Chains A and B, each alone.
With several copies, the nearest count.
Chain A
Amino acid sequence: MSVAIVGVGQTPFSRNCGVSIRELCFEAFREALEDLNLTSKEIDASIICSAPEYDKQRSPAGLISEYLGLTPKPTFYAESICSSSSTGVKVGYSFIKSGLHEIVAVIGFQKMSEISSAEVQERMGRGADTQWESPFGTMMPAGYAMYARAHMQKYGTTEEQLAKIKVKSGKYALLNPLAIFRREITLEECLKARVIASPLKMYDCCANADGASCVIMASEEKARKTTDTPVWVAGIGAASDTLSTTGRSNLTGLTCAVDAAKQAYQMAHLEPKDVDVAEVHDCFTIAEIMAYENLGFCKPSEGGKLIEESQTYIGGKIPVNVDGGLLSKGHPIGATGGSQIRTIVLQLQGRAGKTQVKGAEVGLVHNIGGIGVYGNVTLLRR
């Protein structure tokens, strides 16, 4: 029995949504159910995905499932920080495949605007090992910056190559009405921006955001009754790496992504060259370059060259993040994975508008939690 994604939804990602988390989720849920032959009463279970402590509501699963009219169906909260909603999709897949449920809603959200950026980084810092690493003033940009430094040292990757990731991002974000930043950015602007954590500068980093996403999954039988354009889950991979930086053996790539990709390709009987369009977790520019290598779009060391040669633009070898990616869309932690999946689903359904990759049949989503702690790769097929 195959498992399908039948509906996807997303709110605009913004700096200050001005609404409550349940209202935010409702908006994504409503888009996901649009045009489906499905009412909310037919949804068997929901999985609510986010990272805690950015807003005051604890245990939001009950709150949100009530507001969406999903009570008395079971619900719970799933978290793997930035990849929470990909984790939700994996659990949704197994709920359906195991026969426990037939239709599952995976709802991701984050409202980060209630607290300052330094407070957000403090919470993110406490997502590191609070005993041995947080006391040193850890934060997300610093973690990825250490990978960037090692990648530059070992492979000769340049700050210009990093900046070119952001230039691509800006170009496509211009066409994404849901993105926070919808403007093209020049290479020069990127290179002249202030340093956040060397060698990463302002435009090498994604922005905190408010937003929600929703993915509706269904068994093959239910999917066929619900929509004419189901998108099939072809492969799912998930792996972890140590939370501690000291536990890492590889400083120039994310082994959790390598492991997850291997599993997903194997399950789907697909190879990197079969992927027509991909969404990768570009929380920082270096993350996208490592993703190229970790997913097999190029060899290790050649990520910088791949963007240099514009091979990840539409028309290139493998179009990546043609919705603008996290760098321009914004990164509302729990909602991000669902947004990536939505982009690929729309691509495979031929509904991606100006950024449509023609004839896309196979899409990939690469969603990472923390600084390479939780790796998730999902392969979808038309």
Chain B
Amino acid sequence: MSFDKFGKISYLSETKVADFAKYLEKGKIMATRCNTCGKLYFPPQADCPDDLSTDMTWEKLSGKCKLLTYTTAHFAPAGFQDDVPYTIALAQCEEGVKVYALLSRNINENEICIGMDLKLTPLQFPNGRITYELKKA
């Protein structure tokens, strides 16, 4: 399976970690862990620059995370104009890795505060495309 179902718009269809999309369809958000040095990678990667190893294992993230920073976009690049306003967020997962995703539309802008608990969750678009988003924990 290729990677081109990931995201609202996809710019990349081939990657060694295309299985991420397969897992995501099954409701699992996966990171990779280097079997050589033990480092956890999210977004997942197939290679470990620390020891030049390519021996990695998939590992499920709990999804528990905290908001680090965010912005609500009222202007958007071509292809995303119909979605404004949307809130882009960076969150810290309990496993130590960070995630870049949109905040769920169910969270009101005045509820948002840095440090709040969030839950990283798979999301299927009506057209069959898949992604993940950050929901209220």
Contact = CB atoms under 8 A, between A and B. Distances in A.
Interface string B63-97: 00000111111111111110100101010000001
B100 A246 contact: yes
B127 interface: no
Nearest to B133: A136
A31 to B, nearest CB: 10
Contacts of B25: none
Interface string B13-32: 11110000000000000000
A329 B31 CA distance: 36
Interface residues of B, number: 48
Contacts of B80: 137
B52 interface: yes
Contacts of A200: 71
B88 A138 contact: yes
B45 interface: yes
Contact of A198 (B71, B76, B102): B71
A247 B47 CA distance: 15
Interface stretch (A125-133, A231-239, A256-264): A125-133
A118 B52 contact: no
Interface string A88-99: 000000000000
A19 B15 CA distance: 4
B42 A67 contact: no
Nearest to B45: A67
**Interface size for chain A: under 10, 10 to 19, 20 to 34, or 35 or more residues?**
35 or more
A129 B100 CA distance: 11
A197 B8 contact: no
A269 interface: no
Contact of A197 (B15, B16, B49, B71): B71
Contact of A20 (B12, B77, B78, B100): B12
A194 B74 contact: yes
B68 A251 contact: yes
B10 interface: yes
B122 interface: no
Nearest to A114: B13
Nearest to B101: A136
Contacts of B88: 136-138, 142, 146
B83 A132 contact: no
A302 interface: no
Given A30-B52, A135-B6, A135-B11, A149 B69 contact: yes
Contacts of B76: 118, 121, 137, 139
Contacts of A114: 13-14
B11 A131 contact: yes
B70 A26 contact: no
Nearest to B52: A30
Contact of A139 (B46, B70, B73): B73
B43 interface: yes
A122 B78 contact: yes
A197 B46 CA distance: 33
Among A121, A125, A197, A245, max chain B CB count under 10 A is at A197
Given A122-B77, A246-B100, A146 B70 contact: yes
Interface string A316-335: 00000000000000000000
Nearest to B81: A118
Contacts of B131: 135-136
B12 A130 contact: yes
A198 B74 contact: yes
A138 B7 contact: no
A18 interface: yes
B127 to A, nearest CB: 14
Contacts of B72: 195, 197-198
Given A135-B8, A142-B73, A197-B71, A244 B100 contact: yes
Given A19-B46, A134-B11, 9 more contacts: A17-B14, A118-B77, A121-B78, A131-B15, A137-B8, A137-B73, A146-B70, A198-B74, A198-B109
CB-CB nearest 7 A-B residue pairs: A135-B7, A69-B49, A145-B71, A137-B80, A130-B11, A121-B77, A122-B78
